[in-house]
Amino acid sequence: MAGAVTTDTRPVDLDHVVISDDGDRYRVTLNRPERRNAITGEMIAELHRVCAIVERAPKPVLLCGAGRNFAGGADIAQLARRTRDDALAGINRTLFDRIAALALPTVAVVEGYALGGGAELAYACDIRIAAPDAVFGNPEPALGILAAAGASYRLPQLVGISVAKQILLAGARLDAEQALRHGLVMEVADDPFAAAETVIDRIVAQSALALRLSKTVIDAPGHHPWADDIAQAVLFEGPDKTDRMAAFLEKKS
């Protein structure tokens, strides 16, 4: 077995993904390094199981790939066999939307290639930390298909419509420095795992409920000041606000 984690007293055995519970965070690793962590149907199914674990006991997630790459794309041999009905089922998109909707922040560590479905998986995370050799791209039209697992609506929000079209229509790729310049990644680091752990350290030091509600209102479509007000009202009446502000004022005095 590639990896196993126990939750709710039930062991979960995985072959293409490794999940570890590191106390206040999860680390999830795509584990097909011999294939640049190409995303298969089996990996998608296992990542749904991982999502179920995280949904039952929410914590921040560090998502990465084994070996020298994040994910080089979908497994083309499997993709070649998919049909119209598979496309309409939104196999990859449904998973990536589920990852994007996880309650607490997700941080992707991107080394090497994040292409095609691998790039779309990275786009679904809240924050991306890149190694200097990271490369993002969506070459799907070269294979006669489109980037249909979230790139069409996530990438324009992340980098703007002009850069998104350069990637999705003209086959442009972003290296790490270009990704940083366009806001796709938070940081380029020689040790991206240490940088990601530092980010998650800051996340777990904050109020989990405040983070959950913040992520909900940020990701909600459209203009929604009423939702912000309602979320803030919930937080104003909660013990976290009272305790944290009292501690701040006591420290200041």
What are 27-38's pLDDT values in tens digits?
999 999 999 999
Residue 2 pLDDT > 60:
no
What domains are there in the chain, each with its CATH number?
A: 17-205 (3.90.226.10), 208-251 (no CATH)
What are 179-195's pLDDT values in tens digits?
999 999 999 999 999 99
Residue 198 pLDDT > 60:
yes
Average pLDDT on 166-177 reads 98
More confident residue, 33 or 6: 33
The conformation of residue 2, written as its DSSP 8-state character, comes to: -
10 Å CB burial of residue 130 (0-12, 13-18, 19+) is buried
**Percent of the chain clearing pLDDT 70 (strictly above):** 95
Average pLDDT on 166-170 reads 98
Structure tokens at 19: 């999940």
What does the pLDDT read at residue 3? 47
What distance in Å separates the CA atoms of residue 193 and residue 155, rounded to the nearest whole number?
23
Residue carrying the six token digits 């990271």: 134
The catalytic position among 34, 46, 55, 120 is 120
Cβ–Cβ < 8 Å for 200, 142 = no
Cβ–Cβ < 8 Å for 12, 6 = yes
What does the pLDDT read at residue 252? 86
**Percent of the chain clearing pLDDT 90 (strictly above):** 88
- Taking alpha carbons only, the member of 96, 109, 89 closest to residue 25 is 109
What does the pLDDT read at residue 139? 96
What does the pLDDT read at residue 223? 84
What are 25-65's pLDDT values in tens digits?
999 999 999 999 999 999 999 999 999 999 999 999 999 99
**pTM score over 0.75:** yes
Residue 74 pLDDT > 90:
no
Structure tokens at 192: 């991206």
In whole numbers, what is the pLDDT of the chain averaged over residues?
A: 93
More confident residue, 181 or 221: 181
The catalytic position among 140, 187, 237, 250 is 140
Annotation marks residue 140 as catalytic: yes
What are 116-138's pLDDT values in tens digits?
999 999 999 999 999 999 999 99
Residue 12 pLDDT level (bands cut at 50, 70, 90): low
